[in-house]
Amino acid sequence: MTSQTTENPEYIYDLTVKDAKGKYVNLGIYKGKVLLIVNVASKCRMTNLNYTELNQLYEKYKGQGLEILAFPCNQFGEEEPGSNDEISEFVCARFRSEFPIFDKIEVNGNNASPLYKYLKLGNWGIFGDDIQWNFAKFLIDKDGQVVHRYYPTTSPLSLEYDIKKLLE
């Protein structure tokens, strides 16, 4: 197996991440899809509505080429303490999420996953490029360009207009 990461990827499709079972997934399999990438927390008090709305978006638009990629992260208030299996079970059992939940990662700091280093390049939030909290959202067009970064407080359903435009 090649290494998990590419240090200076030119395209998001050059990156490889791990799924919840530890298997490597090259993001190249998502070429031609509109991607919504979210750092999630399962045990966060405010998570329910985010998951519910993400599910609604996925149900409505997966047939048209939307993929939602969720990455558990425990850098925010230790709200995501479970193992990958627990996280998948939680999301699947409680919310019947069909979108993939990947391996737990860090999104800020030196150990941030190469995917998040890439996503944050040139996409600033209120704390520089740091992710502020769970449920920051990135929208990637069919050519792999990171076109929007949304705050954690932006509700998934309010992205619908932008997603529809990218799917056209």
- Is residue 53 a contact point for ligand NAG (CB under 6 A)? yes
Give the residue with the Cβ less far from ligand NAG, 61 or 135. Answer: 135
| CA dist., res. 25 & res. 149, Å (int) | 23
Which residues in 76-115 contact ligand NAG (CB under 6 A)? none
Which residues in 126-165 contact ligand NAG (CB under 6 A)? 133-135, 152-153, 155
Q: Is 44 a catalytic residue?
A: yes
Note whether 40 and 47 are within 8 A (CB). Answer: yes
Note whether 140 and 34 are within 8 A (CB). Answer: yes
Give the residue with the Cβ less far from ligand NAG, 88 or 134. Answer: 134
How many alpha carbons lie under 13 Å from residue 78 in its C-beta half-sphere? 0
| CA dist., res. 20 & res. 72, Å (int) | 9
Q: Nearest residue by C-beta to ligand NAG?
A: 49
The single residue of 15, 17, 37, 44 carrying the catalytic annotation is 44
Q: Binding residue for ligand NAG (CB under 6 A) from 23, 28, 46, 145? A: 46
Phi/psi-derived region of residue 96, left when phi > 0, alpha when psi is between -120 and 50, beta in every other case:
left
Residues annotated catalytic, as ranges? 44
Interface positions with ligand NAG (CB under 6 A): 44, 46, 49-50, 53, 133-135, 152-153, 155
